[in-house]
Structure 1
Amino acid sequence: MLRRINISNYILIESLDLQFPEGLIIVTGETGAGKSILLGAISLLLGARADISMLGDKSRNCVVEAEFEIEPNPELLQVFEEAEMEFDRNIVLRRVISPSGRSRSFLNDEPVNVQFLASISSGMIDIHSQHQHLRLADEKFRLSVIDAYASDKELLSEYSASYRRMTALASEIKELEGEIALADRDREFRQFQYDELEKARLVQGESEALEAEQKELSHAEEIKELLSSASAKFSIEDYSFVQGMKESIRDISKVALQIPRFTGLAERLESCRIELQDIEDELERESESVKVSPQRLAEVEERLSLLWSLMKKHGCATVEELISKRDSLGGTLSGYETSASRLASLKAEFEKTASRTESLASALHDVRARAADELAPVMQQAIRSLEMPFAVFKVEVSLKDELRQDGRDAVRFLFCSGPEMVPDDVHNTASGGELSRIMLCVKSLLARYKDMATLVFDEIDTGVSGSVADKIGTLLGEMGKNMQVVAITHLPQVAAKGNTHFCVRKTVGGSSKAVTTVEALSGMERVNEIARLLSGATVTQAAVRNAEELLRSSQNAEPSTNFTV
C-alpha cells in the first residue's frame, strides 16, 4: 500500500509530504483547489507524460516521490525478475523533471526507464477516473475482468506462450519459404555451374603445367633435332672427344709420375672430362625423352582450351579460383538441402504447437465460460445494491474464428435496468450514472482478485443522488477493510465514510502566488468540511449538526451484506 508521498515544485504544490494510513482515505476540497493536481502528481509515478509545464518554479526540479509497502505477488515478482532486480517489500518510486523538460525515474534510488516504473507502479496502485467507465466498451478490458475473476493466470500464461511460439513459427516458415522460392529460381543454374566445374576435375597448378607441356610438344621435332645435333658434336666420325680427353689424361698422368707438378693438370682435365661426359649423357637422355606426339599435343591444347573457357565464363583468373567457386557453389547447393530440411522441421513443429494452442484455447474458454456464469449473478447483486433494484447483468462468452494473443474468446457485458427490457451491451444501454456504478463494482472486483494494494477513485460519484452516494460510500468503506482506498469526492455521504480525511485548499503564498496545500482533518475541522459539502460556501449551524450526525451514523453503520463481490 501507499505509505507516503512527497511532492515538490509540481504546478501549484510547492512542497507536500503526506502520510497515507490504511483503510478508506477521503480527499475533498473546493472546485479548483487542486485535487486533480494531486492526482496528476501520482499519475507521474504511473508513467504519465512529463513536461516543463508541470514545474511551478521553472528554475527548479519537480520531484514526486512515493513510498510503498508491498506484499509480493507473482506479477510484481516477475517484473523484478525480468529486470534482474531484487524484490524489496519497501519500494520507493521517484520521478524527477528538470527545467529542461527531461524526465528521470528511480526505483529505490536506482535509475530505471519510465516504462519499467509504470510496470511496477501499475501493479501497486490503480486510478479510476470519472470517465473510466468508457473502458466497458473495450473488449480487452472485459476479458481481463473475466480472467481476474477466473484466476486463470497460469493457464492464460501457458496459452500466450504457446500462441507466441506458434506465430513465431508461422513467421519463420513464411520467411524461409520466401527464401527457398527465391533460391529455386537460381538453383537450376547454380547446379549446372557446379556440375560443369565438378565434371572438369580441376587440379591445383595444372594450368601452368599444361602450358609448359604445350610449349614443349609444339616444338618437339625441332628440340629433338637440336639436342641430337648437339650430342653428335661430341664425336667426329670415329673419334670421340671425351675418349680423346681420357687418352690425354692418361699421357699427362704418366708425365706426372716423373714430374709431380703435372699432377694438377691431369686432375683438371679429369674434372672437365667428367663434366663433358655428364653433358653428353644428359643430351642423349633428353633427346630420347622428347616425344613427338601430335595426339598428346591435341589433348593438352583441348584441356587448356577447356580451362581457359571455364575461367572466362566464371570470371576467374586461375584454376585455383575456379576450384574456390566450385566449392562455394557446392556449399550453396548444400544450403538448399538444409533449408528444405529446416522447413520440414518447422512445419512439423508448427502443426504440433498449433494443436497444443488450440487445446489450450479450448481449455481457457471453458474456464472463462464457467467464470462468466459465476460472475454474472455476483455483479447483478452488487449493481442492484447501488439503487438499481431491477437491473439485469449478464456475461456472454463466445468463440471467435481466429486465435489471438489472449485466446479465442469474445466477452460481452449485457445490461438492462429493468426486467421488461432486453439486456444488450452495457456501454450501449446504461446511462452515465449507471455506467459509473457498474464500473465501481467491476473495479472493486478487480482490486480484490488482482491483489491491488491501493485503489484511487476520482469523483466516481459525480451525478448520483444522495442515497446512491451513501451506498457508494458504504461500498468504498467495505473495500477499505481489505485494501487501501483513496476517494476524491464532493459528496458528504461518501466523505463521512472515510477512516482518514484530507482536505485540499488553494491559498496565497508569501509571493502572492496561489499554492495548493493538503491538510489532514480531524474533529471539528472534519465536521466543518463535511458541513461545507452539505451547504456550500456558507456553513450553517444546521449543516454542522447534519455533518455531525452523518459522521456519527457512518462510523456506527453496520457492514453492508448486499455487496458480495
Structure 2
Amino acid sequence: MVNSSTGLPDRKINGAMLKSLQIGNYVLIDSLDVTFPEGLVIITGQTGAGKSILLGALSLLLGEKADASSVAQGADSCFVEATFAVPESDTDLMAILADNELCSEDGDIIVRRVVNRTGRSRSFVNDSPVNLPLLQSIVSRLVDIHSQHQTLLLSDSGFQLSMLDHFAGNTSLLERCATLYHSIREKQSELEKVRIRLERMAEERDYNLSRYRRLEEAKLKEGELEELEQEQKQLANAEEIKTELCMVESLFSSSDLPSDALPVSSALKEIQRQLEKVSRFIPQAESLVERVLTARTDLEDVVAEVMAINSRTELSADRLSYVEDRLSLLYDLLKKYSASSVAELIAQRDSLSGMLFDSQAVEDRMAELRNEIDSLSSEYSEVSSRLREARLSASVPFAREVTAAIRELELERAVFDVEVTEGPASAKGSDNVRFLFSAAGSSPTDVSKCASGGEMSRLMLCLKDMMARFVKMPTLIFDEIDTGVSGSVAARIGEKICSMGRNMQVFAITHLPQVAAKGDAHYVVEKHFDDNLGKATSTIRLLQGEDRIMEVARMLSGTTLTNAAIENAKELLG
C-alpha cells in the first residue's frame, strides 16, 4: 500500500509514529503543514536553513520551556501541532489517555502547544487542555530526540541501569520492586508520624490531664446551665414572688378585704345564685350560669396552682449561694475552654479522655507498622536479590552484543563491559551499574572518562538500536548524530539507523550524504528571503526523483555541483 501524501510505501510499525506536523508563526516558519511516512525519514538542509528551528518546534511539544522569542515578528502567538498514530498495544499510554479522558475516536493523538507574545503557553491533547507535566508524560512516549548532547546519558547511572534491565527482561521484577519500595517508604513515613504523635501525646499528657480532670470534676450535665440560670432568677427574687402569690390567694378567698368587697370566689358564687333565679324566667340565662360555673372551676384550678408554686418557692440563701457558685464555675469553664455551651465542654472532655487513654491504640499501631515494614523489607530483599542475579547474568551477553555492534562502526578493538555492584536501596533494587569502555581494547574504564565525542555518539546509537528491539520505542529523531564522522563510518551509521527504521519511525537530521541516501523519504529544509517583506522564512518539502539526487550531490560537493558528485549521488541512492 502506498501513502497518498508521500507516494511512499506504507509498512507496519511497532511503536508511535509522527503522521503530520503543523507549525505557524514559529521563529522563521510562517506556515508549515507536512505529512511523514513510516520508516527512516531524512531531513537535510544547508547550515542556517532552519533545521534547528524545526527541532526546536518539536522540543516545544515535548514540554520545553516556552519563550516569547519563539513567536515570529509581527505575530501575536505561534503554535506547533503534531498528529501521532499509536498502536493499541501501547497499554501504558492508552491508560494515561483513558485516566485523563483524552482518548479519540480514531485512536490518533493530536498534540498542540500555543505560545503568546508574553511567553505564556497553553497545551492541548486531542483538543482538551492539559497541564505541562501531563503533556510531558504523554509526548515523551511519542517522540525521543537523540541529539549530540544526549550522549551525556551514557554517564547517567539510571540510564545505564535501565538499559541493562531492558536487555535482561526485568520488567515484572522492577514493577514488583518499585511497588514494595514505595510501600515501605509509605509505611516508614506513617510510622514516623505515629512516633511523633506518641511523643507529643507524652509531652502534652500532664497538660491535657489537668484540663481533663477539671472538666471531669465539674460533673457536667447537658442543659444544666439553662436550668441553673432559671433557678437563680427565682431564688434571687423569691421574696417578691411569694408576696405576689399570697396576694393572689387573698384576692380569691380572703376575709380581710374591705367590708363592702367580696372575695373573687364568693363574688362568683353570688353571681351564679342570682343568675339561677333569673333563669327561671329567662331560659337564655341558663347558659350564663354554666359559663360562670366553668369560670369558677378554672379559677379554682389557677388558685390551686398558685398555692402549689407558693409552697415550692424557697427563701433559701444557702441554695441561692450554691446556684450562683455553680453558675460561676460553668461560666469560668466556658471562657477557659472557649466553648459556647456545656455540650461543647462535654465534647472537649471526651476528646481529652480519648487523647489521654488512647495512647495504647497508637502504640499498637506502631507495632503493627513495624511488623508490616519487616515483612515488606524481607520481600524487597528477595526481589532485589533476584534482580541482581538477573543483571549479573545479563551483563555478559549485553556487553558482548554492544561490543560487537560498536566494532561494526569501525572501532575494531573496542571493548565494552558492564559492572554490577551493590548500591543503596531504591525503587529499582539495590544495585549500581557502570558502563566501562575502551576504544583500544585494554583496561576498560568508566565510559564518561575515556570515550571521545565520536565514540560516545556511536556507542549511544548502538544502545538505542538495542532498545528498539526490546521495547516499543517512540518516534526517534537523530539530530546530527553523525557529526565528527565520515566515509565508511558514516555509511555504517546510516545502515544502523536504516535498520532501526525497518521496525519503527526514525528521523535523521544529517549532513552526511552516506546517511541521507539510506532514507525511505527525504525532506529538505530551505530558507527564502522576501525582499518585499524584508524577512526570511524557512520551509520544508519532500524530495523525490531528480530533486533528491541533486540534494545528495550538493551534500557531496558543496555549493558547486559537479557531474562526478551527481553520479556519486545516483550510486549512493542505488
CA contact 1:58–1:99 (8 Å) conserved in 2: no
Cα shift at 1:449: 2.6
Could you tell me which amino acid in structure 1 is paired with residue 216 of structure 2?
D
Cα shift at 1:75: 2.0
Task: Please give the residue correspondences for 1:252-267 in structure 2 after superposition, counting only pairs within 5 Å.
Answer: none
Q: Secondary structure at the match of 1:131?
A: helix
| Residue 64 of structure 2 is aligned to residue 48 of structure 1 | yes
| Residue 131 of structure 2 is aligned to residue 113 of structure 1 | yes
Q: Give the distance between the partners of 2:213 and 2:551, measured in 1 at CA.
A: 93
1:332 corresponds to: 352
Cα shift at 1:108: 2.7
Q: Give the distance between the partners of 1:116 and 1:398, measured in 2 at CA.
A: 35
- Cα deviation 1:252-295 (Å, max 9, x = unaligned): 99xx9xxx9xxxxxxxxx9xx999x9999999999999999xxx
| Residue 196 of structure 2 is aligned to residue 178 of structure 1 | yes
1:137 corresponds to: 155
2:170 corresponds to: 152
Q: Give the distance between the partners of 1:55 and 1:286, measured in 2 at CA.
A: 92
Q: Secondary structure at the match of 2:218?
A: helix
Q: Secondary structure at the match of 1:372?
A: helix
Q: Give the distance between the partners of 1:281 and 1:479, measured in 2 at CA.
A: 110
- Residues 200 and 492 of structure 1, relative CA distance in 2, 3 Å threshold: closer
Deviates most, 83-92 or 127-136 = 83-92
Paired residue for 1:464, among 472, 475, 485? 485
Q: Secondary structure at the match of 1:50?
A: coil
2:553 corresponds to: 531
CA contact 1:190–1:333 (8 Å) conserved in 2: no
| Residue 38 of structure 2 is aligned to residue 22 of structure 1 | yes
Q: Give the distance between the partners of 2:302 and 2:96, measured in 1 at CA.
A: 92
RMSD between aligned alpha carbons?
A: 4.7
Could you tell me which amino acid in structure 1 is paired with residue 400 of structure 2?
P
The percent identity for this pair of structures is 38
Could you tell me which amino acid in structure 2 is paired with residue 50 of structure 1?
A
Cα shift at 1:437: 0.9
CA contact 2:201–2:359 (8 Å) conserved in 1: no
| Residue 437 of structure 2 is aligned to residue 394 of structure 1 | no
Q: How many matched pairs? A: 532
Cα shift at 1:344: 3.4
TM-score (norm: length of structure 2): 0.76
TM-score (norm: length of structure 1): 0.78
- Cα deviation 1:489-538 (Å, max 9, x = unaligned): 11122112222211222222363422222232233332332222222222
Q: Give the distance between the partners of 2:564 and 2:302, measured in 1 at CA.
A: 144
2:466 corresponds to: 445
1:521 corresponds to: 543
2:7 corresponds to: none
CA contact 2:110–2:126 (8 Å) conserved in 1: yes
| Residue 98 of structure 2 is aligned to residue 81 of structure 1 | yes
Cα shift at 1:427: 0.9
Q: Give the distance between the partners of 1:304 and 1:439, measured in 2 at CA.
A: 89
Larger radius of gyration between Structure 1 and Structure 2? 1
Could you tell me which amino acid in structure 2 is paired with residue 331 of structure 1?
S
Q: Secondary structure at the match of 1:386?
A: coil
| Residue 207 of structure 2 is aligned to residue 207 of structure 1 | no
- Residues 459 and 289 of structure 1, relative CA distance in 2, 3 Å threshold: closer
Q: Secondary structure at the match of 1:56?
A: coil
Cα shift at 1:27: 1.3
Could you tell me which amino acid in structure 1 is paired with residue 68 of structure 2?
I
Q: Give the distance between the partners of 2:83 and 2:326, measured in 1 at CA.
A: 84
CA contact 1:176–1:339 (8 Å) conserved in 2: no
1:419 corresponds to: 441
1:228 corresponds to: none
Q: Give the distance between the partners of 1:103 and 1:11, measured in 2 at CA.
A: 15
Cα shift at 1:35: 1.1
CA contact 1:130–1:460 (8 Å) conserved in 2: yes
CA contact 1:23–1:499 (8 Å) conserved in 2: yes
- Residues 201 and 548 of structure 1, relative CA distance in 2, 3 Å threshold: closer
Cα shift at 1:131: 0.8
Q: Give the distance between the partners of 1:385 and 1:16, measured in 2 at CA.
A: 39
2:395 corresponds to: 372
Cα shift at 1:327: 3.3
Paired residue for 2:212, among 170, 187, 191? 191
Gaps of 5+ in 2: 1-16, 244-253, 257-262, 282-292
- Cα deviation 1:150-208 (Å, max 9, x = unaligned): 44344433433443343333333433443443344132222322332238999455635
